[in-house]
A and B are shown apart, each in its own frame.
Chain A
Amino acid sequence: MVVSSNRALAGLPFFQLFLNGDEKMSLKDSIENKKIALIDILDVILDKGVAIKADLVISIAGVDLVYLDLRLLIASVESLVQAKQGNGKTISSEEFDKQRRELIDASSQPNKWKN
């Protein structure tokens, strides 16, 4: 089989197309060679139906992940992001109050808590 010449000539790892904005460029021109965000790569390279399951020893941190893959890894990415932002799983008192009010509204019970 022959590989089409334009792809062979492209020579660039990837391009990403952002269609927002007011540029009046041709479509080809607007396809820019940009560094792609990690999350866009993870979204693609992790979320593939596992092709070969037999004899697979590990796939990103363990056999279980072969089957659970994206959700688990994304979860771990998410917790890393949270950890980096330093907000972990704690919620602010403001957020707590908001959730409390929502619960009260949802249950349509009079508010017994005095603010």
Chain B
Amino acid sequence: MDDFNYLYGLIPTKEAANQAFPSLTGFDGTGNIYTFTIGKITAIVCNLDSNIYSEERMKDYINDDMDWLQEKAFHHHETVMKLSKLFTVLPLKFCTLYKNEASLEAAVRSNYSKIMDTFLFIYGNEEWNLKIYCKDELLKNQVSHSNPVIEAKRAEISQLPKGRQFFEKKRLDKLIEAQLEEEKNKISEQIHSSLSGFALKANVKENLSHQLSGKQEQMAWNGIYLVSKSKVEPFLESIEQFEKDMREKGWWFQATGPWPAYHFSSFS
């Protein structure tokens, strides 16, 4: 059986020809990463023993071995980051494997013009990720005491007999929760829309749960932005300004980047 080809990313052949390719260690920690030219597109790959890196084995690693996942995710990330400092990289997802070079070439050829367009689109731009967190309690308090619907409901409840008050208060709590979510979304959307003004393209991803983010605050927004290098500074300044204005209200912002353009390279 052939070796599998682990594909890190695609770069324009023109750029690959302009400089020596760095010496990088492959996914298995022993082999080298090398280039494979397909016309104007150069694939950056390493070989993986198909017996060792079989689908079954990979599943086992993913399900049972957090250390393996961490090590390999960092390896993928660091490799693509290094490449993106040297080339215009169309990054591939973690663990993108092809059966052999022929299947990789066929895949690239069938997406040839899309890949070339993507190079043009991402050239000179950076991907940035912004996660917005919110201390629910502060905003909840604010929502709870400034929303006329909630105020009216509260006044109505106070007139009820004690027994009914208990259940109605529970219902009111649920209403407040719903209003809170709505308010968080509304505020986050406004920020996103404002930041999108600096970006060539922006998207919204799903929020990560508490447990995954490891943060005490709830994630209110998970946005990604493709920003021209010349606009990165004003983009970050704008985030900083939002942070300053909103910190006291329980909001905080985590910007990470620059990332390779993972979210803006889809050509399927």
Proximity bits, B140-172, A CB within 8 Å = 1, else 0: 000000000000000000000000000100100
Judged by a CB distance under 8 angstroms, whether B184 is at the interface is: no
Establish whether residues B111 and A60, one from each chain, have CB atoms under 8 Å apart when the complex forms.
no
Establish whether residues A76 and B62, one from each chain, have CB atoms under 8 Å apart when the complex forms.
yes
- The listed residue (A4, A10, A39, A69) touching B213 by CB distance below 8 A is A39
Chain A residues positioned under 8 Å from B209 (CB to CB): 78
Establish whether residues B255 and A51, one from each chain, have CB atoms under 8 Å apart when the complex forms.
no
Proximity bits, B78-101, A CB within 8 Å = 1, else 0: 101110111110111111111100
Closest chain A CB from B63 CB (angstroms): 6
Residues from 23 to 54 in A contacting B, C-beta threshold 8 Å: 27-28, 31, 36-54
- The listed residue (B59, B87, B92, B233) touching A61 by CB distance below 8 A is B59
In the complex, residue of chain A having the shortest beta-carbon distance to the beta carbon of B244:
A19
Establish whether residues B93 and A4, one from each chain, have CB atoms under 8 Å apart when the complex forms.
no
In angstroms, Cα B91 to Cα A25, docked, is 33
- The listed residue (A50, A84, A108) touching B93 by CB distance below 8 A is A50
Chain A residues positioned under 8 Å from B74 (CB to CB): 38, 41
Establish whether residues A7 and B85, one from each chain, have CB atoms under 8 Å apart when the complex forms.
yes
Closest chain A CB from B71 CB (angstroms): 10
Judged by a CB distance under 8 angstroms, whether B52 is at the interface is: no
Judged by a CB distance under 8 angstroms, whether B262 is at the interface is: yes
Residues A1 and B14 in contact in the complex (CB < 8 Å), given A56-B98, A61-B62: yes
Residues A47 and B263 in contact in the complex (CB < 8 Å), given A3-B85, A54-B106: yes
Judged by a CB distance under 8 angstroms, whether B138 is at the interface is: no
Judged by a CB distance under 8 angstroms, whether A68 is at the interface is: no
In angstroms, Cα B94 to Cα A60, docked, is 7
Proximity bits, B96-139, A CB within 8 Å = 1, else 0: 11110001101110110000000000011000010000000000
Residues A55 and B167 in contact in the complex (CB < 8 Å), given A38-B70, A50-B93: no
In angstroms, Cα B257 to Cα A13, docked, is 10
Establish whether residues B93 and A59, one from each chain, have CB atoms under 8 Å apart when the complex forms.
yes
In angstroms, Cα B267 to Cα A95, docked, is 46
Judged by a CB distance under 8 angstroms, whether A96 is at the interface is: no
Establish whether residues A62 and B208, one from each chain, have CB atoms under 8 Å apart when the complex forms.
no
Establish whether residues A45 and B77, one from each chain, have CB atoms under 8 Å apart when the complex forms.
yes
Chain B residues positioned under 8 Å from A3 (CB to CB): 15, 85-88
In angstroms, Cα B73 to Cα A41, docked, is 7
Residues A69 and B93 in contact in the complex (CB < 8 Å), given A54-B106, A76-B63: yes
Residues A17 and B236 in contact in the complex (CB < 8 Å), given A8-B86, A38-B73, A41-B74: yes
Establish whether residues A39 and B93, one from each chain, have CB atoms under 8 Å apart when the complex forms.
no
Q: B-contacting residues of A (Cβ < 8 Å)?
A: 1, 3-4, 7-8, 10-11, 13-20, 27-28, 31, 36-63, 69, 73-74, 76-78, 80-82, 84, 105, 108
- With A20-B243, A47-B263 given, can you name 10 additional A-B contacts, CB distance below 8 Å? A7-B258, A45-B91, A47-B205, A52-B96, A52-B268, A57-B97, A59-B95, A60-B94, A61-B61, A62-B59
Can you list 13 A-B pairs with a CB-CB distance of less than 8 A? A3-B86, A14-B81, A36-B77, A39-B208, A40-B256, A45-B77, A45-B94, A52-B92, A52-B268, A60-B62, A61-B59, A76-B62, A84-B66
Which 7 residue pairs spanning A and B have beta carbons closest together? A49-B266, A60-B95, A55-B103, A61-B59, A52-B107, A19-B243, A48-B262
